[in-house]
Amino acid sequence: MRFKLCTALVLAASSLLAPVTYADTNMEQSYAEWPSYAASDLELKVDGSGTHFTLWSPKADAVEVRLYDTDRNTPAVETLKMHKSDNGTWRVSVPEKLYGKFYTFAVTVDGHQLDETPGVWAKAVGTNGHRAAIIDFANTNPEGWENDRGPVIENITDAVLYEMHHRDMSMHPSSGIVHKGKFLAMTEPMTTSPEGASTGIDHLKELGVTHVHILPSYDYNSVDESNLPANQYNWGYDPYNYNAPEGSYSTDPGNPEARVREMKQMVKALHDAGIGVVMDVVYNHTANNDDSNFSLTAPGYYYRHRADGSYSDASGCGNETASERQQMRDFIINSVKYWAQEYHIDGFRFDLMAIHDIETMNEVAAALKEINPSIFVYGEGWTAGDSPLPAEQRALKENVAKMKDIAVFSDDIRDAIKGHYSNAADPGFATGKPGNEETVKIGIVGATAHPQVDYSKGNNSKFPYASAPTQIVNYVSCHDDLMLTDKLAKSMPGSTEAERQRAARLAQTIVFTSQGTPFMWSGEEIFRDKKGVHNSYKSPDSINAIDWSLKTKNADQFEYYKNLIRLRREHPAFRMTTAEDVARNIVFDKVSTPNIISYSIKNNAGGDAWKEIKLVFNGSKEAYTAKIPKGEWTVVAYDGSINPDGLFTTKGGTMDVPATSALILARVK
């Protein structure tokens, strides 16, 4: 999420409200003195002795719980006064198990009662998430849940990440999927396009990715769950309830158990298919300011402010949260732990991660590794605006060496391969623009220190910021900006579709053979586009949904991606885990021709069966004659074709590398 997706909404909302500002410079400093409370009984606990409510709100004058019979439009059936308790909490208990009821908190601060809120720890909610629900989570587990496990991976670099939105994957009539736009879409086996190609989960299995990265799936604000026939679309970067699934992806948003159960069913189906689930998490800002659940429980505390008391805005969405404060830090850590434990989530992608502080991110990674060593964390190592948090404390790309178990997106390789993200017409290395070679090499070595890579020539970064390739996620395209297909259309004027498909193959071949973890955007493997829309966060399905008929039309493209992924997964040489191995095993050839990169991965790197792999990338418009040392070589990629088992053999000498293509050869001795 880079764009100011929600600024307009925020401004509109704020203009209706009296300017209530709970923070000034002195407050900002005193927040550090507030007590904190992070036990798992926060807000709601049901046990043998009844139902227990615990709200953290240190500066409240009074707090009450309101109980409801339904999720909306009905009056409270009971109001319970809470009493002040330990560590800034307020508590009240009743002896009954209130399963089936809904509740809100109403906090009084400085003499006035704030609007009701479901709290910040609502784990189940009704329609539009305004009321929290009391459910028995044991009833939400699909059959076999206790034995459900995600894929075991040793290092994040063993993952192949596939970023997807629930609606994109299933909404198009050609998906053949029944539960269109729902969590359940990914539970349907044997779905096919009208042409008979597999779609949905079977498509993912066929493609060979290891993990899906699902766009925000917590309860977000923008889609009206009470009006699902309106078929609204949103990416979901406008968090409302962080610890409950989004209702519009369930078959029944009014039934609090449905969204929980159906999300678990999705996770289970993907796990059964051998595919892990990464969640996109957006703790850096909330959809609302003064009327967010944070503000309605502990006004001011959870956010950073400017000197004048206004909300600071490193997210570009009207506010930014304050991870350096204990209660917020604990909230983030316990929230991801909750998703990992209750929903068996296998990884987390942090939106605008640099809004968070380094210490928080390190604690997040450590807490998750303790639950399951296969869980990994990566994020956007940047902010969308300035922050009061000092740069040296931010979880920035440039600071990733201080975050051992965190990876960051490489905007270096992204922009160098395809051209700058913000200039549609700008081509890159793969589309014939010279001057990007050194930045692509930064990507190839996973932004680690390498004796043959001159970081002073890097377009975006000027020093080897990663201490290991496990800290880098390589990509050319994601949900943000023009997706690769559209970027190629804008930056290759006068080109044919076949030429653009060649460029896409070259671009992704660089990504998938580079050190680090490869990441792709859903549908690129069948060359779908988004009709040139660069910020489709609320565009209709006609822009966003994948037309699965393209899988047959572009069958060669799909075959290429499939084989490219297989090549990577079969060869640990592309998945080295230390900077030392990368520096020792990767040797670049001296090349003076623009838009050519030629290098070898030597020494059976990573324990690979292949002694040496030679890769030549030709991003120019002309064929290039490569010198290949004498030997028994198997050619695995040539002229837009790829086969990990080999296309043909050669004894070395010279080889033509046709324009806009990758040559990959391997020898076992």
Contact set with Ca ion (CB under 5 A): 219, 246-247
As separate numbers, helices (DSSP H) first and strands (DSSP E) second, the chain gives 16, 28
Q: What is the dihedral of CA 547, 551, 557, 560, to 10 degrees?
A: 130
- Three-state DSSP class for 57? coil
If the CB atoms of residues 219 and 291 are measured against Ca ion, the closer one turns out to be 219
Q: How far apart are CA 355 and CA 544, in angstroms?
A: 28
If the CB atoms of residues 259 and 441 are measured against Ca ion, the closer one turns out to be 259
Q: How far apart are CA 353 and CA 379, in angstroms?
A: 5
Torsion angles phi and psi, residue 585, rounded to 5? -95, -20
Contact 605, 573 (CB under 8 A): yes
- Three-state DSSP class for 37? coil
Nearest approach, Cβ of residue 499 and Ca ion (Å) = 42
Q: Which of 168, 324, 380, 412 is catalytic?
A: 380
Nearest approach, Cβ of residue 520 and Ca ion (Å) = 27
If the CB atoms of residues 64 and 246 are measured against Ca ion, the closer one turns out to be 246
If the CB atoms of residues 223 and 576 are measured against Ca ion, the closer one turns out to be 223
Nearest approach, Cβ of residue 218 and Ca ion (Å) = 9
Nearest approach, Cβ of residue 181 and Ca ion (Å) = 13
If the CB atoms of residues 247 and 300 are measured against Ca ion, the closer one turns out to be 247
Q: How far apart are CA 214 and CA 351, in angstroms?
A: 12
CA 56 to chain centre: 29
Torsion angles phi and psi, residue 255, rounded to 5? -100, 105
CA 589 vs CA 123, 167, 441, 614, 629: distances in Å = 55, 45, 12, 10, 12
Nearest approach, Cβ of residue 54 and Ca ion (Å) = 25
If the CB atoms of residues 247 and 379 are measured against Ca ion, the closer one turns out to be 247
Contact 378, 409 (CB under 8 A): yes
If the CB atoms of residues 295 and 634 are measured against Ca ion, the closer one turns out to be 295
The CA-based angle 440-427-473, given to 5 degrees, is: 35
Catalytic site residue 163?
no
Tell which residue, 376, 516, 550, 496, has the closest CA to residue 443.
Answer: 516
Contact 564, 640 (CB under 8 A): no
Nearest approach, Cβ of residue 224 and Ca ion (Å) = 8
Name the residue with the smallest CB distance to Ca ion.
219
Q: What share of the chain is helix, strand, coil (3-state, %, to 5)?
A: 35, 20, 45
Q: How many C-beta atoms surround the C-beta of residue 592 within 10 A?
A: 5
Q: How far apart are CA 363 and CA 378, in angstroms?
A: 13
Nearest approach, Cβ of residue 236 and Ca ion (Å) = 8
Paired with 245 in beta bridges are 218
If the CB atoms of residues 130 and 500 are measured against Ca ion, the closer one turns out to be 130
Q: How many C-beta atoms surround the C-beta of residue 16 within 10 A?
A: 7
If the CB atoms of residues 256 and 606 are measured against Ca ion, the closer one turns out to be 256
Q: Which of 280, 351, 438, 524 is catalytic?
A: 351
Nearest approach, Cβ of residue 322 and Ca ion (Å) = 24
Catalytic site residue 351?
yes
Nearest approach, Cβ of residue 241 and Ca ion (Å) = 8
Q: How far apart are CA 225 and CA 231, in angstroms?
A: 10
Specify the length of the chain in residues.
669
Which residues are CB-contacts of 473 (< 8 A; sequence separation ≥ 6)? 161, 378, 407, 408, 409, 410, 516, 517, 518, 519
User: Which are the catalytic amino acids?
Assistant: 351, 380
